[in-house]
A = this chain, B = another copy of it.
Amino acid sequence: MANIQEVAKKAGVSVATVSRVLNNHSSVSTRTRLRVESAIKELNYEPSMLGRNLRNSESRLLLVLIPSIANPFYTEIINGIQNTALSHQYNILLCETDSNPKRENIFFNMVKNKLADGIISMDPAVNKQKLTELADNHSIILCSEYDEEGSIPYVSIDSELAAYHAVKHLIQLGNKKIALINSDEKFLYARQRRQGYERALKEYGLPIREEWIYHTTQLDFQDGVHAMRMLLRLEEKPSAVFAVSDTLAIGALKEIKAIGLRVPHDIAVVGFDNIGFSNMTNPSLTTISQPMYKMGSTAATMLIHHIQNRKVESTILDHELIIRESTMG
**Given the interface contacts A1-B112, A51-B54, A112-B46, does A93 sit within 8 Å of B91 by beta carbon?**
no
State whether the Cβ of A254 lies closer than 8 Å to any Cβ in chain B: yes
State whether the Cβ of A307 lies closer than 8 Å to any Cβ in chain B: no
Considering the complex, give the chain B residue whose CB is closest to the CB of A109. B46
Give the chain B neighbours of A280 by CB distance below 8 A.
221, 250-251, 254, 281
Give the chain B neighbours of A32 by CB distance below 8 A.
none
Output the least CB separation between A4 and chain B (Å): 13
Q: A48–B75 Cα gap in the complex (Å)?
A: 32
**Given the interface contacts A49-B113, A109-B49, does A277 sit within 8 Å of B93 by beta carbon?**
no
State whether the Cβ of A132 lies closer than 8 Å to any Cβ in chain B: no
In the complex, are the beta carbons of B282 and A114 less than 8 A apart? no
Give the chain B neighbours of A109 by CB distance below 8 A.
46, 49
**Given the interface contacts A69-B75, A93-B93, A95-B93, does A113 sit within 8 Å of B48 by beta carbon?**
yes
Query: In the complex, which of the residues B92, B257, B277, B282 contacts A277, with contact meaning CB atoms closer than 8 Å?
Result: B277
In the complex, are the beta carbons of A46 and B281 less than 8 A apart? no
Give the chain B neighbours of A276 by CB distance below 8 A.
70, 220-221
Output the least CB separation between A73 and chain B (Å): 11
Query: In the complex, which of the residues B75, B106, B110, B113 contacts A70, with contact meaning CB atoms closer than 8 Å?
Result: B75
Query: In the complex, which of the residues B94, B95, B282 contacts A254, with contact meaning CB atoms closer than 8 Å?
Result: B282
In the complex, are the beta carbons of B115 and A50 less than 8 A apart? yes
Considering the complex, give the chain B residue whose CB is closest to the CB of A86. B103
Q: A1–B57 Cα gap in the complex (Å)?
A: 12
Give the chain B neighbours of A144 by CB distance below 8 A.
none
Give the chain B neighbours of A250 by CB distance below 8 A.
277, 280
Q: Which of A74-96 contact B (CB under 8 A)?
A: 74-75, 78, 82, 86, 91-96
Query: In the complex, which of the residues B78, B86, B95, B282 contacts A282, with contact meaning CB atoms closer than 8 Å?
Result: B282
- What 4 A-B pairs have minimum CB-CB distances, sorted nearest first? A94-B94, A49-B113, A93-B93, A70-B75
Chain A residues packing against B (C-beta within 8 Å)? 1, 46-51, 53-54, 68-70, 72, 74-75, 78, 82, 86, 91-96, 98, 103, 106, 109-110, 112-115, 137, 220-221, 250-251, 253-254, 257, 276-277, 279-282
Besides A54-B54, A82-B98, 5 other A-B contacts (C-beta < 8 A): A50-B114, A69-B74, A69-B94, A220-B276, A257-B282
What are 24 of the A-B contact pairs (CB < 8 Å)? Answer: A46-B112, A49-B110, A50-B54, A50-B113, A50-B115, A54-B54, A69-B69, A69-B75, A69-B78, A70-B276, A78-B96, A82-B98, A91-B106, A92-B96, A93-B93, A93-B94, A94-B95, A115-B115, A220-B276, A221-B279, A221-B280, A254-B280, A254-B282, A282-B282
